[in-house]
């Protein structure tokens, strides 16, 4: 399995309408990219999150599937929309080596 974890701090400008639009993108990723095994956006509830209070977590069978996701139209549109609202970001990609 390949995991793509993006932790971010969102600006104060990221209001309810911004969050609703992000959830629309999440739905599109799930519907349009059949090689994405699982995909979520949500609040980080850990008290040790150091201000990274939102996360996107994607799960893929392989790193090649993750690479396809990175260049997909829906992901590029989502990034373009979210970038102005992200004040800081940390990305972790890791491969367990396990295959389904």
**Domain assignment of residue 100, yes or no:** no
Assigned domain for 62 exists: yes
Looking at residue 38, which CATH number applies to its domain? 3.30.70.100
Q: What is the mean pLDDT of residues 61-77?
A: 98
Within-domain flag for 61: yes
The residue to which tokens 């549109």 are assigned: 77
pTM of the shown model:
0.92
For the chain, what is the mean pLDDT? 96
Q: Residue 5 — pLDDT band, cuts 50, 70, 90?
A: very high
Task: Specify whether the CB–CB gap between 99 and 74 falls below 8 A.
Answer: no
Strands (E), 2-85: 2-10, 36-43, 54-60
Residue 10 lies in domain = 2-95
């Amino acid at each position: 399995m390949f995991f793509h974890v993006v932790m971010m701090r969102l600006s104060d400008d990221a209001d309810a309408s911004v969050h609703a639009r992000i959830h629309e993108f999440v739905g599109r990723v799930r519907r349009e990219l059949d090689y994405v095994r699982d995909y979520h956006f949500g609040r980080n509830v850990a008290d040790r999150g150091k201000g990274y209070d939102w996360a996107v977590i994607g799960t893929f069978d392989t790193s090649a599937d993750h690479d396809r996701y990175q260049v997909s139209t829906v992901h590029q549109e989502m990034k373009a929309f979210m970038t102005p609202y992200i004040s800081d970001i940390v990305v972790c990609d890791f491969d367990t080596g396990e295959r389904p």
